[in-house]
Amino acid sequence: MAVWALGINHTTAPLDLRGRFAFALDQIAPTLQGLRQSLSGTARHPQVETAIISTCNRTEIYCAGQETALEHTLDWLAQSGGVSPSMLRSHSYALEDGMAARHAFRVASGLDSMVLGEAQILGQMKDAVRAAESAGALGSTLNQLFQRSFAVAKEVRTSTEIGAHSISMAAAAVRLASQLFE
């Protein structure tokens, strides 16, 4: 089974572009269904697995199927955000198999967050997995990927001090503001 991830985040795209690809939790189920229908015609497998992580700093689509359909996934996402595929391509990242898994591990662990070690993303990933499962879009391959990501995140937090002093972006802003006005 091939696994691929396509995303934009705080390092690859400006806020206004990220906003075009933000999906509210109640939009996830119909969005996943539309994505699955679109990919099923291309991926030579009627049961493409999909999940979407959508936060203020990132939107990532994780998929699993018989063959990678990264280009089709990018075209679908560009259309859903009302931008050209070339515009999205220049602000996104596309990862396959081991690189997609490694990226999911980094995201879950807070290593790919705007504030290093930020823990909120782990809960957001768990919410995305629950939403994909409820929509019938999560299969065994993506479920294993995410469960392993959660285990890696736990290991990173318990074996390092990454979470010991981490704060949210809002708390970091408050701390900076208080230092500026002392």
Q: Which residues are catalytic?
A: 56
- Sheet with 2-9, edge to edge strand ranges: 49-54, 58-65, 2-9, 93-96
139 vs 16: CA distance, rounded Å: 32
The radius of gyration computed from the CA coordinates of the chain, to the nearest angstrom, equals 17
Q: Can you tell me the distance from the alpha carbon of 158 to that of 170, in angstroms, rounded to the nearest whole number?
A: 24
How far is residue 152's CA from residue 43's CA, in Å, rounded to a whole number? 29
